[in-house]
Amino acid sequence: MVIRVVVLALLLIMSGCTTYKGSYTYRPSKVSKKYPSEVLADTPSGIKKKNGELMASMRPYTVFGKEYCPTVVRVGDTMNGRASWYGSDFHGKSTCNGEAYDMYAMTAAHKTLPMNTVVRVTNLENNQKTVVRINDRGPFVESRIIDLSYSAAKEINLLARGSAPVSLEVLGFEPSDAKSIDFKMLAKGPRQEILNSFAVQIGAFANIQGALETQKKYALFHGYSAIIKDSQYNNDQLFRIWLRGFRSEAEARDFITQGYFSGQFITRE
């Protein structure tokens, strides 16, 4: 079992479905006024029923004595952090939404934004911009908020530096896993998406038996259910343990602050 713990510590550097190098602990940088979690006291009309009552999925709830609303991501939302990129080592491997990663496509990984969210990324060092579609999870590195494809990173002169401070702006939500961004379709699409399905990764195993034992041990941990997520690491299988059932990023963050597990971080399906 000691060997498995060592393997766990080494392999937790992975992101959601593809793999990344570096620290894995997720400590969100300062949240902007628009994004996300606890700033949703004023819910847009599209989230309410005709009589003004909140939909069930958007009703406030209390966790550890603090009230929350599920997160809403809207067109125009902005956030700041550092961008990094990933390239040939992951080319052709599966991303979290089932696509094959294409280092030449205009895509990116983000920890929590809905799949197929389209964002404008501005390199704050040179003001160069690119537009990408989210199709993967990551990067789980402190202060980094987006992992760009090779082509997107090249477009904002990020390749040599490796990372840079950026701002993100949500432009819309693609209706499908399109290889290119259809801006006309984007303009006609929804103006917001609800985020209400967060998870916390609590472990990762190279052997299915260790994953099964951990899943059984934490099957109903504090009201959250443990599941096994199968992924690839250096062409080998890796079995990650997620606790699911968190209804917002804020709820997941509060859970992490309780210190139940070392190396835990937030992800989203």
Q: Using the 3D structure, point to which of 137, 168, 194 is the last residue of a domain.
A: 194
Looking at 194, 209, 235, which one is the last position of a domain? 194
What are the residue ranges of helices labelled H in 12-89? none
Residue 54 lies in a domain: no
- Say if 179 falls within a structural domain: yes
Read off the pTM.
Answer: 0.63
Q: Which residue has the higher pLDDT, 38 or 90?
A: 90
Query: 136 and 99: one domain?
Result: yes
CA distance 16 to 8: 15
- In a domain? residue 171: yes
pLDDT at 122 over 60: yes
Name the helix (H) or strand (E) containing 252: helix 249-257
Which CATH number belongs to the domain containing residue 9 in this structure?
Answer: 3.30.70.1070
**Residue predicted with more confidence, 56 or 69:** 69
CA distance 52 to 192: 18
My answer on whether 130 and 93 are in the same domain is: yes
Position 195 confidence tier, pLDDT thresholds 50, 70, 90: confident
> Which one, of 10, 146, 178, 172, lies nearest residue 80 by Cα?
146
Residues 243, 253: one domain? yes
Assigned domain for 63 exists:
no
Inside any domain, residue 39: no
With bands split at pLDDT 50, 70 and 90, how would you rate the model's confidence at 176?
low
Verify that 156 and 174 share a domain, yes or no: yes
pLDDT given for residue 214 in this prediction: 93
CA distance 201 to 218: 12
Whether 139 maps to a domain, the answer reads yes
**What is the CATH number for 155?**
2.40.40.10
Residue 157 — very low, low, confident or very high, per pLDDT cuts 50/70/90? Answer: very high
Q: Is residue 100 in a domain?
A: yes
Domain span including residue 110: 74-194
pLDDT per position as a tens digit, 215-267: 999 998 988 899 998 876 556 778 889 998 887 777 888 888 888 998 888 88
- Check whether residue 120 and residue 173 sit in a common domain: yes
Residue 105 and residue 176 in one domain:
yes
CA distance linking residue 69 with residue 259, whole number of Å: 23
From residue 168, how far is each of 108, 113, 117, 224 by CA, in Å?
Answer: 12, 11, 11, 31
3-state DSSP assignment of residue 190 = coil
| Final residue in a domain of this structure, among 148, 175, 194 | 194
CB 105 within 8 A of CB 148: no
Total domains, the chain: 2
Query: What would the mean pLDDT of 93-112 be, rounded to a whole number?
Result: 85
Residue 41 lies in a domain: no
Calpha distance 167→78 (Å, rounded): 7
pLDDT tens figures, 11-22: 443 434 443 333
Confidence of residue 187 (pLDDT cuts 50, 70, 90): confident
Q: Mean pLDDT, to the nearest integer, of 198-203?
A: 89
Same domain, 172 and 123: yes
Residues 79 and 169 placed together within one structural domain of the fold: yes
